[in-house]
Structure 1
């Protein structure tokens, strides 16, 4: 939405004029917006109305994330002596010093600790937008409460100059998006690539059994 108009002391917008700002970034639904600065009637002979602007660039609709890691994952929990009747996993111990599993614990599993997933996906990118069309209705007021109307301009699509009448001061405005046709952007990078590495830590070996009861002997 246009965030500033230009107030001119000369008719037909013939001088450089001064910029008058309106906080349309905060107020985009036709709320009353105070002019900054206020322009008294003796300094106002014409006004340049600026149109809405099509966004200068397009963002991809989705930024992708790397595919999930697929494999067998394990969580080692402290061993508590007694009956593991409700335990849904395997009962495991550390291997012997030579790396072998003792009798009764024939299930040998190797896992790597502290997996760090540093993968990212390269972004897709878009070209400049084209074909968009936006129009705004601009209502100007003599007072900051938007009750004393001075002029209404419908369908502002290009910069437009309006001459003012005597006693027209500029104190506030309502700016309403009247028509919006989003433009289109052609993709410039259509393929997202996975970059980065998966870093693994120390290898841990578990010797496991499906037994649910372990006795001290």
Structure 2
């Protein structure tokens, strides 16, 4: 938007700056600073434009880890009923598993999950229609309307006259038609990238469920 001192937008005009963005559409936007009445005889409204790029949807997170997991807990000196898992102990000094704990498992301590998902990407937007209604006000609260300019399409900029000796201090922009274009994905699959950084290997000698419950009965 440009404000002109001359009628019919006959001069180059000055760019009208806004103190904040129109979010959400339709709320009052203050000009920064206000355009005084003696410098505001006409206004040029540029056509609305479509976004030049599409933003991909929210990025994905890597799938949860699967497999067998172990948790080392202090030994309490007794087996407990209702335990959904195997009871495990450390191997002997020579690495062997003592009788009754012959199920041998090796785990690695997880230090950091460094996996990420590769981002999705979109092509340029195609199509779409945008038609805006622009309301100009002489005050920063958008109470005293000067001009209502309706049906501004995407074709070309338009010049409008302004009431004599009226400042420009506030603007409202409302979409009469807001039909976004469509974007085709250029990257159709998100892949898992990166690794799980593992630490020291730990060996556990585990009993079977039958042995556990057999000891409980005894």
TM-score, with length taken from structure 1: 0.85
2:171 match = 173
Q: 1:83 to 1:122 in 2, by over 3 A?
A: closer
Q: What runs of 5+ residues in structure 2 fail to find an aligned partner?
A: none
The structure with the greater share of residues assigned to helix is: 2
For this pair of structures, how many residues does the alignment match?
A: 211
Q: Give 1:149 deviation, angstroms.
A: 2.1
**What does residue range 145-164 of structure 1 map to in structure 2 within 5 Å?**
145-158=141-154, 159-164=157-162
Q: Does structure 2 retain, via aligned residues, the 8 Å contact 1:54–1:132?
A: yes
Q: Following the alignment from structure 1 to structure 2, what is the Cα–Cα distance between the partners of residues 127 and 83?
A: 61
Runs of 4+ in 1 over 4 A off after TM superposition: none
TM-score, with length taken from structure 2: 0.84
Task: Output the aligned Cα RMSD.
Answer: 2.4
1:28 aligns with 2:29: no
Q: Does structure 1 retain, via aligned residues, the 8 Å contact 2:61–2:117?
A: yes
Residues 87-146 of structure 1: CA deviation (Å, up to 9, x unaligned): 333222111111110112122111111253322222221111121221211111223333
Q: 1:24 to 1:52 in 2, by over 3 A?
A: farther
Q: Following the alignment from structure 1 to structure 2, what is the Cα–Cα distance between the partners of residues 198 and 147?
A: 60
Secondary structure of 2:91's counterpart equals coil
Q: 1:186 aligns with which of 175, 184, 187?
A: 184
Q: 1:199 to 1:28 in 2, by over 3 A?
A: closer
